[in-house]
């Protein structure tokens, strides 16, 4: 008859065993964190989450809503910039502007996954979050052509970020780069 403390010693030793990772496989998130710590010993996941929630996501969404292609280009990978810039250019060509107001958020930020960077790249961390935004599209005269000034929406995003490969680039506001973004959906807030 073994005691609880003996059981926990055995199980603790079992789960701390490095063989366990090799047998069952390291999770993609754990592998990505390990890769980040190899290149940046000061990396902390909690700091990344805080940066994404308070700086990275709000800035990128604001720049997109405002049509700020210059800041987006500095802070996006090629594919992400092509996607957001296509939308910005379409609005410009039609002489339309989105209401850039973010009423609340990002909120409910969650780390959903990660992708190893492999030999050449740094890992990507995938987050989901939501914002409250005004769904209002105006023409060049300021007339509402879609939505309304009081059409408040909860917009759900997924965003993949990675360490910026050139963190000393002039004009860079933070050392992270958006690799992908998707609007997962939206719903009225009322």
Residue-wise pLDDT for 91-116, tens only, equals 999 999 999 999 999 999 999 999 98
Mean pLDDT of 140-148: 96
Please give the radius of gyration of the chain, using alpha carbons only, rounded to the nearest integer.
21
pLDDT at residue 47 above 80? yes
Task: Return the residue matching tokens 């292609």.
Answer: 69
Token pair belonging to 70:
């210059």
In eight-state DSSP terms, residue 76 is B
Total domain count, the chain: 1
Distances, alpha carbon 98 to alpha carbons 54, 83, 180, in Å: 22, 16, 21
Q: Does 64 reside within a domain?
A: yes
CA-based nearest residue to 55, from 82, 75, 39:
75
Q: What CATH number is attached to the domain comprising 74?
A: 3.10.450.240
Q: Does 10 reside within a domain?
A: no
Q: Does 22 reside within a domain?
A: no
Q: Does 14 reside within a domain?
A: no
Q: Provide the domain limits for residue 132.
A: 45-188
In eight-state DSSP terms, residue 168 is T
Q: Does 17 reside within a domain?
A: no
Percent of the chain exceeding pLDDT 70 equals 85
Each residue of 113-132: pLDDT tens digit? 999 887 668 899 999 999 99
> In the prediction, which pLDDT does 17 show?
52
CA-based nearest residue to 57, from 129, 165, 142, 133:
129
Q: Is the pTM of the predicted complex or chain greater than 0.85?
A: no
Q: Does 3 reside within a domain?
A: no
Could you tell me the maximum CA-CA distance found in the chain, to the nearest angstrom? 82
Mean pLDDT of 133-141: 96
Q: Does 101 reside within a domain?
A: yes
CA-based nearest residue to 185, from 146, 151, 155:
155
Q: Does 39 reside within a domain?
A: no
């Amino acid at each position: 008859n073994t005691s609880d403390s003996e059981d926990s010693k055995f199980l603790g030793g079992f789960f701390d065993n490095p063989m366990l990772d090799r047998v069952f496989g390291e999770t993609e998130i754990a592998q990505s964190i390990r890769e980040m710590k190899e290149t940046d010993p000061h990396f902390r996941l909690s700091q990344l989450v805080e940066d994404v929630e308070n700086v990275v996501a709000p800035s990128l969404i604001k720049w997109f809503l405002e049509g700020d292609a210059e800041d987006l280009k500095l802070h996006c990978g090629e594919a992400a910039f092509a996607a957001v810039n296509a939308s910005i250019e379409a609005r410009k060509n039609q002489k339309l502007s989105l209401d850039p107001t973010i009423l609340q958020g990002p909120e409910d930020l969650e780390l959903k996954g990660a992708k190893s960077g492999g030999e050449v790249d740094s890992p990507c961390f995938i987050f989901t979050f939501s914002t409250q935004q005004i769904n209002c599209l105006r023409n060049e005269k300021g007339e509402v052509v879609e939505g309304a000034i009081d059409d408040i929406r909860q917009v759900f995003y997924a965003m993949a970020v990675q360490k910026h490969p050139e963190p000393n680039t002039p004009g860079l506001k933070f050392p992270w780069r958006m690799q992908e973004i998707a609007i997962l959906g939206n719903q009225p807030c009322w």
